[in-house]
């Protein structure tokens, strides 16, 4: 990456960047920035900034992770003043299997969440297809919906100076 002189580098993994907390996530960005000499963002950073931009402090969350990683994410979000009012997980251990989930499956799983006490919906994991169904999820629930990939893309385009909204992929 350093040899292409990038404008921005993205560490695109939700669980890989939140798993050991905010200091760990900052260390990852600092190490990559030292090597590439480029600004670096992480998916966890983007998730927090996206939730803040949408003014979401209470969310219902679906993940493809196992129970342990999902519970760790709930705790990480709580440590960042985000209450998870309901969460469900897909228990998909293999990363390739996560990536092969269809957007329709993601939509179906997110719709099973109890959103009655939530300000919005968060679909975690940068390796699942959710961007395509966020607008439909918002239409169905009348609440903002955000995914890891959407938040990362949103933050990345802003970090490189693009402020034009991208329509059709959720409120963010």
Tens digit of pLDDT for each residue in 41-59?
999 999 999 999 999 999 9
Pairing label, strands 9-11, 58-63:
unpaired
Tokens of 28: 């990852």
Give the predicted TM-score (pTM) of the model. Answer: 0.94
Q: Alpha-carbon distance 41 to 155, whole Å? A: 8
CA separation, residue 121 to residues 7, 21, 33, 114, 148 (Å): 31, 22, 31, 10, 11
Residue 17 — very low, low, confident or very high, per pLDDT cuts 50/70/90? confident
Question: Tens of pLDDT along 76-135?
Answer: 999 999 999 999 999 998 889 999 999 999 999 999 999 999 999 999 999 999 999 999
Residue 16 — very low, low, confident or very high, per pLDDT cuts 50/70/90? confident
Tokens of 71: 């519970």
């Amino acid at each position: 990456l350093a040899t292409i002189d990038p404008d921005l580098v993205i560490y695109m993994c939700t669980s890989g960047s939140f798993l050991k907390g905010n200091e760990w996530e900052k260390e990852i960005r600092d190490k990559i920035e030292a090597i590439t000499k480029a600004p670096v963002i992480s998916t966890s950073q983007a998730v927090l900034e996206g939730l803040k931009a949408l003014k979401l402090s209470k969310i219902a969350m679906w993940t493809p992770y196992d129970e342990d990683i999902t519970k760790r994410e709930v705790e990480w979000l709580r440590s960042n003043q985000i209450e998870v009012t309901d969460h469900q997980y897909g228990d998909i251990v293999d990363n390739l299997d996560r990536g092969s989930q269809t957007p329709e499956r993601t939509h179906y799983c997110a719709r099973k969440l109890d959103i009655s006490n939530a300000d919005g919906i968060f679909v975690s994991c940068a390796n699942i297809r959710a961007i395509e169904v966020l607008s439909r999820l918002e239409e169905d629930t009348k609440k903002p919906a955000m995914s890891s990939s959407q938040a990362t893309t949103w933050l990345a385009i802003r970090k490189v100076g693009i402020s034009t909204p991208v329509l059709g992929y959720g409120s963010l």
